[in-house]
Structure 1
Amino acid sequence: MNVVELKQEAPAGLVKVSRHGSVLRLEMNNPPANALSIAMMEALKDEFDAAREDKSVRVVILASATPGKLFCAGHDLKELTVHRADEDRGRAFFARTMKLCAEVMQTIVHLPVPVIAEVDGLATAAGCQLVASCDLAMCTDTSTFCTPGVNIGLFCSTPMVALSRNVHRKQAMEMLLTGETIDASTAREFGLINRIMPRQYLNQVVMKYAEVIASKSPLTVKIGKEAFYRQAEMTLSDAYEYTAGVMVENMMARDAEEGIGAFIAKRKPEWTGE
């Protein structure tokens, strides 16, 4: 059997799951580094796929089960290195790893609900990619970020995809070419992070944002998130043509009719998700 098609059984507890009303919280629990091993990525993808099917989920928070240390250290270099002993020097396993990583990142982007990264610690390489792939990102004032692959002879090419779609090109290249670690303030200046706060307020602020978003029409949020990423890859004229059509279809939704009616009547809307 082709090794690329194999799927390992993920160790129990790699992702801690909890619910707070309509907010789903996923905590990476692969100490000490929350490395994105095959098992870890499969566990994350499984949880995101489950969230897609659960219509009661309005927002997903992605965090670390060990805050204050490492949010995520990227790929498991030890796991990758072991497969250099394979007959093909690891090529098939490397391809499997990168393919699965791309699937996880795209699953986040294509999820019909927003994903908020709650970062307290270091997010490096594919861990930084994970932050960049989320729709929003909040961090503590001691968190740091980097794409250091160039330092070990492995350019962060896949992290570059998410990074270059979130920060200015020259700033993305600065991170990719130097491999240097940036602090939280610089990450916010670059556009990688939305908000910075002291550790004791992180969870509280993230939950506040999640609850505000969860209070909106789920259909409207789904439409908006999909349109945001699709139009970003289009030319200006194509983007306007596409989003004009999206607006028309959105106007036909019952939630839009209800929301506009509630605004005019100065009452709270009652969303049905239709």
Structure 2
Amino acid sequence: MQDCPSGATSLLLCEEAEPGVALLTLNRPEARNALSLALIRELHGQIDRLGADPAVAAIILAAKGKVFSSGHDLKELTAHRSDADDGLAFFRETMQACSAMMQSIVRCPKPVIAAVDGRATAAGCQLVAACDLAIASEQSDFATPGVNIGLFCSTPMVALSRNVSRKRAMEMLLLGEALSAAEASHYGLVNRVVPSSDVMLQARAMARKIVSKSKATVAIGKEAFYRQAEMTLADAYAFASEVMVKNMMIADAGEGICAFLEKRAPDWKDC
């Protein structure tokens, strides 16, 4: 794995959690890990870089402090209301950059696991929803409370509504109330709820299982999952059938099937 840029003043820490697993840590605890434009851009850049790194098989996204992320940096946004255009250009730049960053997580060929130990609200909740998998501590909670301050969580709505049912999503968006970790698990927003001390252990264990798979197969499967989810039933089956054919033609599929039939461990070539 390539070295990650690091430093005590970095908005986003990057390290190798263990072989094949990159750990990204939001590092603005004094600002409740609010997603400033600079942090959004740094996170987008790291996701793209790690996605292209052949040594990386999985990415864990965590945060320092008691808040996973409070969402957009409202102080930064408010400061730009004094701009000549009342902040219009900066607001648009921030929202577009954030939307692009969230999509980079979905497009990343490596699975991204959110390790949440604290509150995740608004765009912070969106960040959890954008990740492929999520582990949450028992004291974590989740909310899209924008409606309470006159700013409907429209962009968080996109990721949220693709994780939970419409009625559940609308309840969160219209009421702006926090969900407990247990409720978030029941709704389908997170995969598992564990004690705080076990969040990173569980995330790393999940990542370790992904590392043991063929990177090529995982990349094919992740891309196909998100593409078929937006299709009609017939189109999804037609698309998925072609993906299966494509998958069957790669070396790792042949190796994996032979290993299964011969009752041995596969020797992945990641191609």
Q: Which amino acid counterpart does residue 22 of structure 1 have in structure 2?
A: G
- When normalised by structure 1's length, the TM-score is 0.95
Kept in 2, the 8 Å contact 1:16–1:65? The answer is no
Q: Which amino acid counterpart does residue 124 of structure 1 have in structure 2?
A: T
**SS in structure 2 of the partner of residue 234 of structure 1:** coil
Post-superposition shift, 1:30?
1.1
- When normalised by structure 2's length, the TM-score is 0.96
The aligned counterpart of 1:42 is: 41
**SS in structure 2 of the partner of residue 210 of structure 1:** helix
Select which of 30, 34, 39 maps to 2:28: 30
**SS in structure 1 of the partner of residue 62 of structure 2:** strand
Q: Which aligned runs of 4 or more in structure 1 are off by greater than 3 angstroms?
A: none
**SS in structure 2 of the partner of residue 193 of structure 1:** coil
Matching of residue 157 in structure 1 with residue 136 in structure 2: no
Of 202-211 and 217-226, more deviation after overlay is shown by: 202-211
Q: Which amino acid counterpart does residue 55 of structure 2 have in structure 1?
A: S
CA distance in 2, matches of 1:196, 1:104: 26
Q: Which amino acid counterpart does residue 128 of structure 2 have in structure 1?
A: V
- Superimposed CA distance per residue, residues 133-189 of structure 1 (whole angstroms, 9 cap, x where no aligned partner): 000000000000000000000000000000000000000000000000110011011
- Superimposed CA distance per residue, residues 181-225 of structure 1 (whole angstroms, 9 cap, x where no aligned partner): 110011011100100001111111111110001110000000000
Select which of 180, 183, 188 maps to 1:186: 183
CA distance in 2, matches of 1:113, 1:223: 10
Matching of residue 65 in structure 1 with residue 64 in structure 2: yes
The aligned counterpart of 1:91 is: 88
Alignment of 1:1-274 (within 5 A): 12-19=9-16, 20-32=18-30, 33-66=32-65, 69-274=66-271
Unaligned segments of structure 1, at least 5 residues:
1-10
Q: Which amino acid counterpart does residue 51 of structure 2 have in structure 1?
A: R
Identity of aligned residues (%): 55
Of 51-60 and 234-243, more deviation after overlay is shown by: 51-60
**SS in structure 1 of the partner of residue 67 of structure 2:** strand
CA distance in 1, matches of 2:256, 2:229: 26
Post-superposition shift, 1:12?
4.1
Q: Which amino acid counterpart does residue 50 of structure 2 have in structure 1?
A: A
Post-superposition shift, 1:65?
2.1
CA distance in 2, matches of 1:70, 1:187: 16
Q: Which amino acid counterpart does residue 177 of structure 2 have in structure 1?
A: E
- Superimposed CA distance per residue, residues 19-40 of structure 1 (whole angstroms, 9 cap, x where no aligned partner): 0110000000012210000111
The aligned counterpart of 2:5 is: none
Q: Which amino acid counterpart does residue 61 of structure 1 have in structure 2?
A: I
